């Protein structure tokens, strides 16, 4: 039997008691209406892993059961739960559907690694240690970006990734759907975005894996029905899918489909290289309307209150050179080319506001004027986030120095292509989303933090596993657990003894603690 010192992320408080609750075929499960998703999930995973059906209780079986109740007044805060295990019952009181779901996740961890398998291979009984867990997240935005533009991830891999985020009590999946190298979302009004923009051709020099490109043909996209399915699947697991359509840069795939949206009229291919690209959108009325129409379809598919408009890495050479752009700036009353960048993003943010949504943008957006309500994703460090918070904007901390999962996790010839800075598991664990120089009066502006899986060099779900795990586990504890509960040595113990066996049971191909897996 396991005890409570196996939990990841570490809960707020744990009070162990004597004894155990034993689960068997008679164990019942009752749930309040708001906790039905958690109940469905528990029945599904324990049905598969433990052969336990967890039938609803009836008058004569009412005693030995699991109860999932919703009561915001009795629970420890939003997304929080109180879990009490006695030999007679398992009682959860949660603040909301998410809290009930996180309690269910905690229960699965307490049952041991075999509870993470898809079929029952367990010998002996299934039991839970007695005690009380009181738990709630430190931050409301516990995000992970997955870049499905550089390499398309099949829908089943996305669903699996959602399950993995949920198992770590993360609640935002930021889907980077478009970039120079591929457009991955069906847009009904503009079918060429996926007919042309979703496919990248191989290079004439052939396959070559290096820093600049891989030379291979690649492609794929999600239909709107696929994306609605991902959204619904994530929602059942407490996860909001925040879609990103990146403008006005990182758009060569769109330009390959609709060259008239660009500044040069040149016919372009979906970009076969990695890096920053000079081909950006024209600030014409037609291009602005086109992308406003794209965002109309995005909000129709994604109910998320927040939608990302991108805004990162926009070289302005084409705007500087173009007489059309000069004319346009005159019309708009703008004197600096750089002002066009924030102007363009404002057109998107305002359209989203018309739909009752808030725009999220990478921190380049904060170099210009921002409409009220816009959220800044601080990625080139933490300074932009600190400044945006001081200006009264909400912030999600995503600093590349600390939380980029595509970055190398060790210096070793057997590691995959070495991207960016060295970011070890321990570096991830030591990161804190509230920087020392943040004015405490603006702390509430930091909604949380987000870790990024950029996929230039991750061409399959296997490679995503290797990059993301186990560092994502450390990140989960950073955004969930109280600051004072963080203890690196204890985390490393829980990870090695309890959590990696869970990931093994799930078939996650994480990077071993001992060193790289040479493939």
Residue 312 touching ligand TNX (CB under 6 A): yes
Whose Cβ is closer to ligand TNX: residue 367's or residue 490's?
Answer: 367
3-state secondary structure of 182: strand
Q: Burial level of 412, CB count in 10 A (0-12/13-18/19+)?
A: exposed
Whose Cβ is closer to ligand TNX: residue 49's or residue 419's?
Answer: 419
Question: How far from chain centre, in Å, is Cα 480?
Answer: 14
d(CA 163, CA 167): 6
Enclosing H/E stretch for 252: helix 252-257
Whose Cβ is closer to ligand TNX: residue 114's or residue 456's?
Answer: 456
Residue with tokens 């292509």: 417
Q: Provide the greatest CA pair distance for the chain.
A: 82
Smallest distance from ligand TNX to CB 384, Å: 11
Whose Cβ is closer to ligand TNX: residue 393's or residue 499's?
Answer: 393
Residue 139 touching ligand TNX (CB under 6 A): no
- Residue 323: Cβ within 10 Å count: 7
Residue 394 touching ligand TNX (CB under 6 A): no
Q: What angle do CA 266, 270, 271 make, to 5 degrees?
A: 95
Q: Is 313 a catalytic residue?
A: yes
Whose Cβ is closer to ligand TNX: residue 75's or residue 185's?
Answer: 185
Site string for ligand TNX, 191-230 (x = CB under 6 A): ----------------------------------------
Among 406, 450, 499, 510, binds ligand TNX (CB under 6 A): 406
Rg (CA), the chain: 24
Catalytic-role residue among 36, 84, 236, 313: 313
Dihedral sign from CA coordinates of 343, 451, 110, 426? negative
Dihedral sign from CA coordinates of 465, 471, 473, 478? negative
Residue 454 touching ligand TNX (CB under 6 A): yes
Whose Cβ is closer to ligand TNX: residue 291's or residue 379's?
Answer: 379
Smallest distance from ligand TNX to CB 244, Å: 9
Among 116, 152, 344, 404, binds ligand TNX (CB under 6 A): 404
The neighbouring-strand residues paired with 452 are 145, 404
Smallest distance from ligand TNX to CB 1, Å: 43
Dihedral sign from CA coordinates of 455, 173, 476, 276? positive
d(CA 383, CA 336): 24
Whose Cβ is closer to ligand TNX: residue 38's or residue 419's?
Answer: 419
Residues 71-90, interacting with ligand TNX (CB under 6 A): none
Residue 382 touching ligand TNX (CB under 6 A): no
d(CA 450, CA 444): 16
The beta strands (E) that lie in 121-253 are given as: 126-135, 141-147, 172-176, 178-179, 182-183, 199-200, 218-219, 240-247
Among 229, 313, 432, 509, binds ligand TNX (CB under 6 A): 313
Site string for ligand TNX, 456-495 (x = CB under 6 A): x---------------------------------------
Residue 271 touching ligand TNX (CB under 6 A): no
Residue 362 touching ligand TNX (CB under 6 A): yes
HEC letters along 395-418? EEECCHHHHECCCCCCCCCCCCCC
Among 420, 507, 512, 515, binds ligand TNX (CB under 6 A): 420
Q: Where in the sequence numbering do the catalytic residues fall?
A: 313
- List residues binding ligand TNX (CB under 6 A): 312-313, 362, 379, 404, 406, 419-420, 454, 456
């Amino acid at each position: 039997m396991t005890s409570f010192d196996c939990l990841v992320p570490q809960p707020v408080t744990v009070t162990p008691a004597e004894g155990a609750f034993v689960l068997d075929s008679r164990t019942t499960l009752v749930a309040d209406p708001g906790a039905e998703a958690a109940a469905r999930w528990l029945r599904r995973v324990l049905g598969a892993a433990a052969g336990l059906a967890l039938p609803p209780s009836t008058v004569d079986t009412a005693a030995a059961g699991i109860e999932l109740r919703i009561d915001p007044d009795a629970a420890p805060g939003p997304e929080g739960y109180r879990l009490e295990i006695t030999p007679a019952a398992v009682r959860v009181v949660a603040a909301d559907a998410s809290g009930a779901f996180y309690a269910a996740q905690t229960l699965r961890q307490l049952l041991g690694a075999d509870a993470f398998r898809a079929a029952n291979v367990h010998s002996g009984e299934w039991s839970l240690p007695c005690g009380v867990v009181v738990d709630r997240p430190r931050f409301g935005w516990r995000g992970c970006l997955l870049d499905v533009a550089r390499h398309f991830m099949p829908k089943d891999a996305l669903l699996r990734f959602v399950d993995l985020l949920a198992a770590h009590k993360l609640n935002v999946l930021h889907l980077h759907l478009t970039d120079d190298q591929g457009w991955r979302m069906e847009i009904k009004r503009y079918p060429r975005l996926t007919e042309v923009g979703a496919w990248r051709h191989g290079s004439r020099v052939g396959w070559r894996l290096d820093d600049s490109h891989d030379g291979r043909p690649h492609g794929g996209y999600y239909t709107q029905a696929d994306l609605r399915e991902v959204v619904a699947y994530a929602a059942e697991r407490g996860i909001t899918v925040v879609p990103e359509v990146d403008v006005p840069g990182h758009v060569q795939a769109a330009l390959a489909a609709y060259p008239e949206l660009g500044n040069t009229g040149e016919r372009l291919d979906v970009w076969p290289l990695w890096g920053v690209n000079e081909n950006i959108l024209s600030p014409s009325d037609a291009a602005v309307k086109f992308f406003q129409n794209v965002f109309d379809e995005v909000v129709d598919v994604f109910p998320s209150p927040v939608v990302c408009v991108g805004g990162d890495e926009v070289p302005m050479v084409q705007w500087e050179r173009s007489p059309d752009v000069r004319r346009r700036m005159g019309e708009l009353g703008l004197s600096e080319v750089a002002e066009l960048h924030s102007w363009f993003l404002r057109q998107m943010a305002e359209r989203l506001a018309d739909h009752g949504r808030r725009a999220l943008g990478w921190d380049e957006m904060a170099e210009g004027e921002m409409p009220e309500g816009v959220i800044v994703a601080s990625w080139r460090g933490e300074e932009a986030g600190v400044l945006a918070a001081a200006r009264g904007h909400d912030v999600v901390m995503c600093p590349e120095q600390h939380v980029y999962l595509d970055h190398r996790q060790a210096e070793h010839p057997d590691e995959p292509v070495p991207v960016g800075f060295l970011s070890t598991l321990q570096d991830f664990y030591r990161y804190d989303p509230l920087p020392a120089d943040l004015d405490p009066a603006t702390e509430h502006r930091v909604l949380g933090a987000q870790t990024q899986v950029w996929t230039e060099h991750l061409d399959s779900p296997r490679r995503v596993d290797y990059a993301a795990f186990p560092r994502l586990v450390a990140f989960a504890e950073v955004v969930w657990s109280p600051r004072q509960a963080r203890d690196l040595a204890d985390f490393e113990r829980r990870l090695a003894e309890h959590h990696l066996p869970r990931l093994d049971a799930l078939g996650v191909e994480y990077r071993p603690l001992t060193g790289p897996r040479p493939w």
